[in-house]
Amino acid sequence: MKKILFPALILFGAFSAKAQKVYPAMGKIISYDNSFSSIVPADAKVEAIASNIIWAEGPVWVKDGGYLLFSDAPRNTIFKWDDKTGLTEFLKPSGYTGLGQYSDEPGSNGLMVNLAGELVACEHGDRRITKMNFKLGGKIAIADKWQGKRFNSPNDICQHSNGIYFFTDPPYGLPNRENDTANREITQNGVYSVLPDGSVKQIVADLKRPNGIALSPDEKLLYVSQSDGSVPYITAYPVNKDGTVGKGKIFFDFNTVKDKLGNAAADGMKADVNGNIYAGAANGIVVISASGKLLGKIETGVPTSNCAFGDNGYLYITAQHYVCRVKLLSIAK
């Protein structure tokens, strides 16, 4: 991973204690369907609200406090951003508590706030899912093994209203990724569920690079993206009550839109209340309807990992060295 900084944007200070109300603009809005204008207007401004990040990932909006958290896995740090204070360090270490160098991306990746109001993190280096009370601190492991074997590097996570967690486990956080024979204990790049009683199930085992994960608004479907150019699919799986899933169907194949998006594959993703999917892909956030139709793209111009809905109408985007935001018109969750 190349550590490239962009001085023109660093001027507003990723680590400054002062917030600036006017942020640099980057990227543009691209529409592929007339309905996209009801989600984000064509003249919407993509604001770069923070920079000087090595690799921004896993954003989550914390409603109780009105701020954004996101991971910088190479720095092993979770950062906090709000419009008044700007960017500050929230938690370090975020995903690896060992000594010395572990890998290029030892820190946390996907973040979420669970039903109990706790911060949940996918930890690369410690190879587990944890939860933490915002006020009391102190991490508690939700899951760190399947059948006695340590996970590869939990990547992204979501939670059903019945309390069941679903998460992906690709090899991206291992020191030598898929070739890490010294540390790897599970051969599959799996998708897992964690039931309220703590039991762990491997629910999908045949994906090359499972990455992003999200539930449909009615929670009947589990979407999983693959960040593999040979099979750049978002697959939809019917959700069973016991935490397993049924046979998956391709929801969206990026191969079918190469004329618009090039050789793209999805990273992290979120679903809004209308079932639209917002996926990090093709140097931006690609928006896909609930029926699998490409609607448009919020282009950042740089590799883009994930997004999160704020309760203030903004979509927050983690894009390489930046965190961006854009004001949406439609209601999202």
Strand partners, 81: 68, 87
What does DSSP assign to residue 25? B
Q: Is 267 annotated as a binding residue?
A: yes
Q: Is 57 annotated as a binding residue?
A: yes
Strand partners, 238: 221
Q: Is 311 annotated as a binding residue?
A: no
Q: Is 184 annotated as a binding residue?
A: no
Give the CA distances from residue 107 to residues 2, 124, 155, 184, in Å, rounded to whole numbers and listed in that order: 17, 6, 11, 17
Which of the residues 72, 156, 267, 272 is marked catalytic? 267
Dig out the tokens for 223 from the structure.
Answer: 């979407």
Q: Is 150 annotated as a binding residue?
A: yes
Cα separation, 80 vs 78, in Å, equals 7
- Is 267 one of the annotated active-site residues of the chain? yes
Region of 86 on the Ramachandran plot (φ > 0 left; ψ -120 to 50 alpha; else beta): left
Strand partners, 270: 278
Answer whether the bond into residue 41 is a cis peptide, omega within 30°. no
Binding-site residues for substrate, in ranges, read 150, 155, 178
Q: Which residues are catalytic?
A: 267
Binding-site residues for a divalent metal cation, in ranges, read 57, 211, 267
Binding-site residues, in ranges, read 57, 150, 155, 178, 211, 267
